[in-house]
Structure 1
Amino acid sequence: MQPTTPIAFSAEQMKWYEQACAKIDPERLQNLLLAITDIHSPTGAARAASEHMVGYLEKIGMAARYQPMSFTSGNVLAEMRGSGGGASVLLYAPIDTHLECDKTEKLLTGDASEVDMQPSAQMVDDWVFGLGSSNPKAMVATLTEVATALIEAEVPLIGDLLVGMADGGMPVDLSARQHSGMSNGVIHLLSRGAAPDFAVVMKPWNWVYHEEPGMGWFKLRVHGTLGYAGVPRGTPGFRSSVVPAATVIQDLEQWIIEYAERNTSGQVKPHGWIAGVRGGDPERPAFPSAVTEIFFDVRINPRTSPGAVKAQFAAFVRELEAQRPELVLDWEMYGSVPGGTTDAQNWIVQSCQRGWEHIERRPHGEPDLLGGQTDGAALRRFGIPTARIGWPWPAEGAPLPVTEGLGGMGATYIPDLIPCAKKIMYALIDTLTRPRHELGL
């Protein structure tokens, strides 16, 4: 990564910045986070949370509107216009959570009794707990607090500030809710009036990123024949699909590891994991399944097309079939989202890095390689220069038990968010108080 381009604030810009940062109110941020975490908003059903945020953004002085996508789903777009002649900057976060956290998901989530897995919020000291309180609700609340502080500081903006939040940001595809997910909400938002010059996406990890991966979803099927528990092994005409699948899973796991190494470049290492195995019927355990299906997600580097990833997987399957001719396999790619990249020297990326360095008091340097997929990739694919900036995650020292692993992404320590808010504020002052020609526009 190239060193950050040094462009100093004027004395007036520094005064505006300090005034705006002084208006950032952690208690107000925490109260908003508590309120929106307490509004259950699984993918495709975020209407109530989005409508709540429209009302909140109106109260702080922004022109805000709700954009429905279905009866249960919709987005938020708010605007505060400057005096004119500047750029527009969109502060963006998804608003939907990745889980329903109901009885239908017990196989996916486990017991899910921990506080971060509950679709209702709790506040303990400087913490907010509840499904999605960290991702995405902490981003929603922090970006809103940044906008609130900027407005309250009465900074004389030239450019336009936009705040956007969309349903459908989670990497899911829910057929029961108009196939919500896979960035359908942000695409709807961008097609209906957002269209900024620049965007800033807040996401976990304390770095600035100028690119993010896409994702590819695959199903690999191992075929056998319908069997019966009462027949001995070696019975002519019976071939298990389940037992060979166990070996195929190990081969696939190794391929995914090698795929990630082979396709690493830039800021992205496109990890992947086997998500599950499906076959048979628990109500008919006497009958081994004729088909066992393995499904998985691999991330896609912005410099690799979904088609190229598909070809890499096809080559793996052909090699596996050649090595083990007794296998009968077929496969499909059933979901794909390309990655997205912004020039690392673009104004908004460099501005966010300047903000990061101003708060961290050190050079930005090379960030940890990224595998997480967000709506930022869609923003970039729409031609919008986008910077991703974040905070340390996961939060440490929670006073209540939280889930191991990813869990409900629902434990937020408010002091962790404030440095990120100040970094974003720096980029807004840096960008929205300059004429377009200074920004390369």
Structure 2
Amino acid sequence: MTQTTEAAAVDRTPPKPRRNRIHRAWFVAAVAFVTIIGAAAFRSVPGLLIDPLHEEFGWSRGTIGAAVSINLALYGLTAPFAAALMDRFGMRRVVAVALTMIAIGSGLTVWMTAAWQLLLCWGLLVGLGTGSMALAFAATVTNRWFAERRGLVTGILTAASASGQLIFLPVLALMVEAGNWRPAAVTVALAALAVVPFVWLLLRDHPADVGVEPYGAKEFVPKPPPARGAARRAVTVLFSAARTGPFWLLAGTFAICGASTNGLIQTHFVPAAHDHGMPVPAAASLLAVIGVFDVVGTIASGWLTDRFESRRLLAVYYALRGISLLFLPMLLSSTVHPSMLFFIVFYGLDWVATVPPTVALCREHYGEDSAIVFGWVLASHQVGAALVAFLGGVARDVFGTYDMVWYASGALCAAAALMALVIRRPASPVVAVA
């Protein structure tokens, strides 16, 4: 009896308090943030090189825009397969190979002499590499490592791309303005290569690999077995999602998002400002300012997504973006003035603020398949960007101005706002596709 009493007393002894430590998920998110920054170096280049390539090789802006278009399209079309490959081979391997492809593609452009080489290196190789490093990577990290704060983490990782633009764009602009675009291409290649060892040594595929539960989870989550048939699974998920209305609404709105950001402003803002007499470094610095406020806007959007209805947030974001584009033709000039700065700040806050609520809606409607579904939605984003990157260059060649492109994009954003409001909540819990 005495031993029983003593044992009961021991059982009632309070456990020793555990020291509060930073969860491993935040370190993984930090590695992903730095990795996306390294891959984002290339996102700073296209708008800077349109005029130099046109002057050196005599290629039309439509031809150069076609290379950008291929890059943007592959960036999106690769994403869903990359998400499935990460399920099969792990994030670390896929990301390391992707960064190497970006470095090879960017480095080889230094020796190109024909337009087809631009299409191959700048379009195909870098497009496939950046596609594997697309926002589907951020969605995969968020889904695996976080059970809470998913909107915030999605916003932080999305902002990494803008941070890369902020870091690289002013430096690359000065290189191009000095009279030679090749050092800029080499800088992108070196930036991508520099991140590879960082990824290989520090990135981990799943919380179970280090014996912890996802951040905010109440119990340990075992690592699932490698998913075989990555390509088949990506296509199967697409066919399943394509039978639902929300998929097409999300894909349509995100296509317009890509058309009005990567395809329009990121590709054509610098040459459009240069048409009005603004020096290239000044125009590039304005894009970098967009990157500054994009970080703020995207993280804030992630915070809002955790608290408010995602479809209403999307409607507000697209409506405000469309209004701002309608005013842009009146703001472009040879100098940077307060009205232009207001546009830059406003547009920066809204740049990819659409990503956290879009990822949240994919998760809400498609559950465990949401990363792959978001990959397909991102593909539509890049197809929209690719079309405008190409058509914007053609419009400039034909009309001698970008005004028509600004107005058309503003109208498309208004349509996206209406489409976002049509998306409804799922009637029942989603089931992942086998």
**TM, length-normalised to structure 1:** 0.26
Higher strand share: 1
Higher helix share: 2
**TM, length-normalised to structure 2:** 0.26
